[in-house]
Amino acid sequence: MQAVDKEVLTQLLKWLGDQQKCWLATVIQTWGSSPRPVGSLFACNEGGQMVGSLSGGCVEDDLLAKLANSELAAEGPQFFEYGVSTEEAEQFGLPCGGTLHIVVEPQHLNPDAQANLTTLTEELDARRCVARQVDLKSGRSTVRCVTKHSPLVFDAETQVLTHTYGPRLQLFIIGAGMVSQYLAEMALMLNYEVTVCDPRQAMVDDFSVAGVRTIVDMPDDAIRACANDELTAIVALTHDPRIDDMGLMEALTTQAFYIGAMGSTRTSASRRERLLALDVSAENIDKLHAPIGLPIGSKTPPEIAIAILAEISPVQVDSGALILGAGFSRRFGADKRLAQLNGVSVAELTLQTYCRVFSAVRVVVKPEDTALISLIEALPVDIIRCPDAHLGMGYSLACGIRKLPWDYAFIGLLDMPFIQVQTLENLKRAALDAPAKAIIQPRLGGTSAGHPVGWPRHYYPLLGEINGDQGARGLLEYYQKEIKYVVTDDIGIIRDIDRPEDLQIPL
C-alpha cells in the first residue's frame, strides 16, 4: 500500500483514541482516467482535519463541505459518485472521462473500528497482509490476516466491501556509500520502504537521506531479522567482499523478489567462485543479478542508481489467477469440486496451490453453489458469482474477466488439482520478459498444451465477448503465433477430474 494510506489508518486510530468523530473514505471504482487508484484512502475528523488523498483536492473539499453541512455519512456508510458529466468532472478536477466512486464510513459509529484499526496497523508494521471486510448495510467490519495481497472487491448485490491492505515494497541496501544515497532517494520517490545497512558506524553517520531507516550491523543479521520476504529487494553496494558476501549468503536463502550486487563482470565472476567455496548452491547463486542494473553505460552514482531501479522495477508484474469453477460435473455423478483427495476437497486443493503463487486469485462459481462457496470462502480468494454460468464456460470466463486490474490473467480450471506450484511459478516468471501481446501456456514435454493459460490485458476485451461452452479455445487457435510455450514435465497441466476414477489415478 502507499505510505500515505498507512498514515490514514494511523491517524484514524489516533482520532478514535481521542474520542473524536472521524470518517474513512475509500475509492471503490474508477472509470477512465483518475488521479488515484482503486483502494486509495482519505480520512477527516469533525474539526475538518484531513489526511490522505482521493483526487487533486476538489473531491476532498466537497466531502469537507458535506461534513460542515452534516451531510457526510451521518448515520452509516454512504456512497458518492464524482465525474458523471463533463461539467462535474471539470468542477472536481478529474481528468477527461474520469469517474470516481467513493464509499465513506463513519468510524466513530462502528463499535469494531478501534480494535480493527489496531490489528491493521500492527500487522502492517510486521509486513503482513490483512483483509478488512465491511458490511455497508450495517456498517460493521471485521479484519483477518491473509497470506497474499488481493485487489479491492465490492459486491454491489450484498453490499460487502473487501479491502486487502499490504505492506510496501522494501528496498534493503547493503552499504551507505554515494550510490546508496542516490538509490535511496530515487526509491523513496517510487514509494519503496528503504533500509540501509552498514556495519561501519562512520559511514552510517555520514548518510543523510530523510525517510530511510539505517542499521549499524552486519547485513546477514539484519536481513534475517527484517528483509526476508517476497516483497523485498536486496542490493549489495559496498564493493567490500567481507560485507557484501555475508549479506548475499543470507539474501540468497530468502524469498526476496530481487537480489543484486554491484561490480564488474570480472568482479562478479570472482564473487561467484567465493560463494561456491562458501557452500552456497549454484541454484541459489543463479538468483543473483550481477553485474547489477540494466546495461545503459552508467558511470556516475546517479546513473548507476537509475540502472539499478530500472532493473528492479520490471520484476514486479501484476498478475493474478482467474479460476473457472461453475461447471456441472455431469460425468462425475456428483459435485466433483467437493470430492475428496487425501481428506481435502478438489476445489480447496486447486485454490490452495494457486494462492501459494499468486497474490490475487478469483474464482467464478454459480450463485446456487452454496456448499462450494461455504467451503472456499475462508480462503484468500475473491468469489465471483456468475448468473449466466449455466449457459456455458464462455459466459463464466466473460463474467470473470470484466474489470480485472491485472496485467496478466492466468486462467485455470477448478477441477485441476494436480498442477504443481513450481509450474505456476515458472509460468508467472515467463510473463516478466514476455512481449506485450504474448500468451503464456504450459506444454507437457513439448507436445500437449495445458492449463492455466496466461492472457495479457490486450486480450481482455476479446475474452469478455466469449460465449458458449468452448472457453478461449477459438482465441488460442486464432492467435497461435502469439503463444509463448513453457515446457514442463508436470502432467498436472492436462489432468482434470472428470469421473470418480480420476481421483484414484496416481501422478
194, three cell numbers: 528503504
Q: Are 290 and 261 in contact (CB under 8 A)?
A: yes
Fold (topology level) of 319-503? Spore Coat Polysaccharide Biosynthesis Protein SpsA; Chain A (3.90.550)
CATH code for the part of the protein at 170-315: 3.40.50.720
Residue 96 is predicted with a pLDDT of 47
Q: Could you list the beta-strand ranges (E) of 177-257.
A: 193-197, 213-215, 232-236
End-to-end CA distance of the chain: 40
Are 170-315 and 319-503 equal in CATH topology? Answer: no
Alpha carbons 191 and 166: distance in angstroms, whole number: 13
Q: Where are the domains of the chain?
A: 3-165, 170-315, 319-503
User: Maximum Cα–Cα distance for the chain, whole Å?
Assistant: 73
| CA-closest candidate to residue 442, choices 406, 458, 418, 471 | 418
The count of other CB atoms within 10 Å of the CB of residue 62 is: 17
Alpha carbons 170 and 187: distance in angstroms, whole number: 9
C-alpha pair distances (Å), 200 with each of 173, 247, 260 = 14, 14, 21
The Cα angle at residue 236 between residues 431 and 260, in degrees rounded to 5: 20
Alpha carbons 302 and 142: distance in angstroms, whole number: 45
Angle of helix 421-430 versus helix 346-357 axis, rounded to 10: 40
Q: Are 56 and 46 in contact (CB under 8 A)?
A: no
Return phi, psi of residue 379, to 5°: -80, 155
| CA-closest candidate to residue 332, choices 498, 495, 502 | 498
Alpha carbons 326 and 365: distance in angstroms, whole number: 4
Residue 481 is predicted with a pLDDT of 92
The radius of gyration computed from the CA coordinates of the chain, to the nearest angstrom, equals 25
C-alpha pair distances (Å), 92 with each of 45, 168, 310, 375, 398 = 21, 29, 35, 44, 33
Strands 258-261 and 288-289: parallel
Residue 59 is predicted with a pLDDT of 82
Long-range (24+ apart) CB contacts under 8 A made by 276-280 are 278/245, 278/249, 280/248, 280/249, 280/252
| CA-closest candidate to residue 316, choices 470, 467, 149 | 149
Q: Could you list the beta-strand ranges (E) of 220-343.
A: 232-236, 258-261, 288-289, 319-324, 340-341
Residue 301 is predicted with a pLDDT of 94
Place of cell 516478466: 432
Q: Are 415 and 350 in contact (CB under 8 A)?
A: yes
Which residues, given as ranges, of the chain have pLDDT below 70? Answer: 1-4, 31-36, 56-57, 83-98, 147-151, 314-317, 403, 470, 505-507
Alpha carbons 245 and 249: distance in angstroms, whole number: 6
Residue 182 is predicted with a pLDDT of 97
Overall pTM surpassing 0.85 (yes/no): no
Is residue 445 left, alpha or beta, with left meaning phi > 0 and alpha meaning psi from -120 to 50? left
